[in-house]
Chain A
Amino acid sequence: MKHETPMLDQLEAGPWPSFVSDLKQQAEKRAKNEEGIDFQIPQDVVEDLLGVLELSFKDGETHWKHGGIVGVFGYGGGVIGRYCDQPEQFPGVAHFHTMRVNQPGGKFYKTEFLRDLCKLWDFRGSGLTNMHGSTGDIVFLGTTTPQLEEIFYEMTHKLNQDLGGSGSNLRTPSDCIGQARCEWACYDTQALCYDLTNEYQDELHRPAFPYKFKFKFDGCPNCCVASIARSDLSFIGTWRDDIKIDQEAVQAYIGGEFPPNGGSHSGRDWGPFSIEKEVIDLCPTNCMWMDGGKLKIDNKECTRCMHCICVMPRALRIGDDRGVSIFAGAKAPILDGAQMGSLIVPFIKAEPPYTEIKENVIEPIWDWWMEEGKNRERLGELMKRQGLQKLLEVCGFDPDPRMVQEPRSNPYIFWKEEEVTGGWERDVDAFRKKHQR
């Protein structure tokens, strides 16, 4: 190895997969180059990455500079410029840009496609990736400026594959595994994610927003992609009819034939299954009970928290009148503190071509945010600044008690003039005729 890495070497021990070992293997593979690849960026790029990382471990500080303005022609996102602040010591990573590659829905792959991606990235980049970045993209970690257009050209021409989002635009949407392999998905998350990703390619590639904007798609209220915590518009699957009950299967759970919660608690003896303790008593709305050996649910009172369904997946199934609830404004703490998504649409059908979702929800919200949002203001912050009412107004939604935790506890209502009989214009002289000064 080109650089000594005594600190990083300590991360090779221990059972969890060691990224240090992986990087070293990759460095050796590039050095040997048994396949005779005509590397388009420095062959020792991975060795220099290990070197600069070791230096950061020693210094307790990063050695990467801000991104410059690099990208591919016509796009404002998808590439993040990255330069090392010690280029003389580590010339292999002096220029080390990231490319975001829009992942396929559900992160399903055929190895043929993965091999093509690897081949391209070994040839024109560092061969290092993130599988995957937090937002969902395949992240290509480290290449030089002249390679950006070449990679984009090969990707679009040979692999039928586009870049993802970065900067003040629509970020790469992402979804849960959904109906592909989950019995709880209330809509086709991958279909909706793919449709909106393609519908809004312009918004994804060409920054025109005040700041980033994220869509995420969860098939059910278990929220495996955490949409309610980290997407400006979160689509969570739900249903409005009855949970379907298989009474025989309920008995099988009671009798101990089926493991509760799909076998998720097998590592400890929790004692025999108790439907009262583990299901009925934990129901947040107390809408379940046993009646003559049969499980009953007062579905009208159910808030679809998923607990009973998760505990008894073979006995209870989601309803058939399915759609999505939409939540707006989630974000991480920068700047004004973290926000969870707030409910703006209790129920909407999620069926192609999704016209209502696009025209009645997404586009009016974008129009409002692009008009009123300040530089680097997320949707959730605009909602806080101008109020949930404003969002409902721009979308034309009727207010609904489902949208709030509780009604306001202060009476400081910003009445509008047109709401008050007779308006606000009055004659003070007429008033004084009745009331002396």
Chain B
Amino acid sequence: MAFISSGYNVDKPMEDRISDIGPRKYDEFYPPVIASNKGKWLYHEILKPGVLVHVAESGDKVFTVRCGGARLMSTGLILEICDIADKYCDGYVRWTTRNNIEFMTDDESKVEPLVQDLESRKFPGGSYKFPVGGTGAGVTNIVHTQGWVHCHTPATDASGPVKATMDALFDDFKDHRLPAQLRVSLACCLNMCGAVHCSDIAILGYHRKPPMLDHEYVDKMCEIPLAIAACPTAAIKPAKVESASGEKLKSVAVNNDRCMFCGNCYTMCPAMPLADQEGDGIVLMAGGKVSNRISAPKFSKVVVAFIPNEPPLWPKTTEVIKKMVEAYSAGANKYERLGEWAERIGWERFFEKCELEFTHHLIDDFRDPAYFTWRQTSQFKF
């Protein structure tokens, strides 16, 4: 493994340097039918789950075949996607915001062979490489974060629970039987890189033990004032401690009763780790959405306070999710999102229908907005 230079001169970093050029321009990569009809689309139709047609004013049509994929993806698989795109789509392909892959063609005769080809490709372990679906009133791909594959603060894995959940919801990825679209998201800690707080169903990793203090290293590895300032509940204060060898150390003390386990201190100070096999697990949230359709965007609400991490298949998590999806499917009106259904029938009824236990953890006690979530009317259901 000999080092091969790109031409970069480490002694003269500014020599021939190119910077601040931004991304490649979007229209370099438009398929011709997209380029010539941009801004002039008339309507679209989902021909079957995973297959769409968009019709332009010119009469041109573009057919899109959408398929799922893991967001963690190798170059080997990307090259396979390139081969498919070269074969059927003149070398064009795109991804959606929710990690789906879209193949587009203006030639209707290519659609069925493309679908067949995608569905025929499987990994040696048996899973589909490119399952077609993810459209309309069904479940589409999960947006998620890094988890144990690549992050320093997660309270759960991401790719693992996502795979397990999508296996459980797979039929709804390929169907249009639900009352409306159902968006599932996962964030592996409450930093929520995946912004799961407005999803129909959100899977959230959560810590439950306050940070440990690696006193010998707090002052060496961290800016103590930043660690203190990072705490949203002011639970951290400066402290002087004595090491085993009698050395006086500058460190911090944590008021554990005030800790909300956000891990923000750990982000600022690596000498305050809080990950713990028994402490960490999953919170389930439900009823959020980002669309302004019919009702305003909504935050997801916590409906299950804690489920232990159960790698590799997270069976309890997927079981509860499946139960919520079935209750929603049976109870909601056409076009009604999960949160709109829960609000119409009342959250007390939601817990009953989904067979979920209501515990004190689910009553908000975090600052002013908490009060607005308590019931201030005599209208409720028995």
Contacts and interface: CB of A to CB of B under 8 A. Distances in A.
Nearest to B84: A111
Tell me which of B1, B23, B34, B290 has the highest count of chain A C-beta atoms within 10 A of its own C-beta: B23
Contacts of A410: none
Contacts of B380: none
A82 B77 CA distance: 24
A295 B292 CA distance: 22
A201 interface: yes
Interface string B143-187: 111111111111001011001101100100101111001000001
Given A108-B94, A132-B95, A202-B20, A338 B197 contact: yes
12 contacts: A23-B74, A62-B275, A66-B270, A104-B25, A104-B26, A104-B29, A156-B17, A161-B21, A265-B334, A338-B198, A375-B226, A376-B230
Nearest to A28: B76
Given A10-B313, A180-B34, A223-B290, A102 B23 contact: yes
Nearest to A266: B176
A332 B299 CA distance: 10
A147 B125 CA distance: 33
A111 B311 contact: no
Contacts of A64: 148, 150-152
Interface stretch (A67-75, A349-357, A362-370, A418-426): A67-75
A259 interface: yes
Interface string A331-343: 0111111101000
Interface string B39-59: 101111111110000100000
Tell me which of A114, A156, A226 has the highest count of chain B C-beta atoms within 10 A of its own C-beta.
A226
Contacts of B62: 181
Contacts of A105: 23, 25-26
A387 B367 CA distance: 17
A384 to B, nearest CB: 10
B312 interface: yes
Contact of A335 (B41, B175, B264, B335): B264
B128 A103 contact: no
A150 B8 contact: yes
A130 B71 contact: yes
A111 B290 contact: no
A111 B41 contact: no
B67 to A, nearest CB: 9
A411 interface: no
Contacts of A311: 335
A223 B181 CA distance: 13
Contact of A221 (B97, B190, B276, B291): B291
Given A16-B167, A107-B94, A118-B78, A161 B45 contact: no
Interface string A100-118: 0011111111111111011
Given A228-B292, A265-B176, 4 more contacts: A19-B159, A181-B62, A268-B177, A317-B42
A310 interface: yes
| Size category of the binding interface on chain B | 35 or more
A21 B124 contact: yes
Contacts of A151: 6
Contacts of B8: 149-150, 152-153
Interface stretch (B132-140, B242-250, B354-362): B132-140
Given A60-B277, A266-B176, A338-B197, A110 B91 contact: yes
A49 B21 contact: no
B148 A56 contact: yes
Interface of B: 1-8, 10, 13-14, 16-31, 34, 38-39, 41-49, 54, 62, 64, 68-79, 81-82, 85-86, 91-97, 99, 101, 104, 123-131, 135-138, 143-154, 157, 159-160, 163-164, 166-167, 170, 173, 175-178, 181, 187, 190-198, 226, 229-230, 232, 262, 264, 267, 270, 275-278, 280, 288, 290-295, 297, 299, 309, 311-313, 334-335, 366-367, 369
A346 interface: no
Interface in A246-277: 259, 261-268, 270
A397 interface: no
Interface in A3-43: 7-26, 29, 38-40, 42-43
A262 B21 contact: no
B92 A108 contact: yes
B226 A132 contact: no
Nearest to B276: A61
Contact of A16 (B41, B74, B152, B163): B163
A292 B295 CA distance: 29
B296 to A, nearest CB: 8
Interface stretch (A121-129, A388-396, A428-436): A121-129
Interface in A146-190: 146, 149-154, 156-157, 159-162, 172, 174, 176-177, 179-183, 185, 188, 190
A132 B194 CA distance: 11
Contact of A12 (B48, B77, B126): B126
B68 A17 contact: yes
A210 interface: no
In the complex, which range does the number of interface residues on chain A fall in? 35 or more
Contact of B26 (A59, A98, A190, A374): A190
Contacts of A198: 22
A12 B127 CA distance: 7
A290 interface: no
Contact of B293 (A49, A222, A270): A222
B176 to A, nearest CB: 3
Contacts of A222: 291-293
B28 A104 contact: yes
A332 B186 CA distance: 13
Contacts of A227: 290
B176 A268 contact: yes
A96 interface: yes
A26 to B, nearest CB: 4
Nearest to B123: A21
Contacts of A182: 41, 44, 54
Given A121-B75, A131-B95, A335 B262 contact: yes
The 10 lowest CB-CB distance pairs between A and B, nearest first, are A12-B125, A105-B26, A264-B136, A60-B277, A267-B176, A332-B192, A14-B167, A21-B123, A267-B177, A26-B74
A240 interface: no
A121 to B, nearest CB: 6
A336 B125 contact: no
B23 A197 contact: yes
Contact of B198 (A188, A226, A375): A226
A375 B231 CA distance: 12
B84 to A, nearest CB: 9
A342 B165 CA distance: 33
Contact of A278 (B41, B129, B292, B334): B334
Nearest to A125: B75
A22 B74 contact: yes
A96 B148 CA distance: 13
A305 B294 CA distance: 6
A23 B13 CA distance: 35
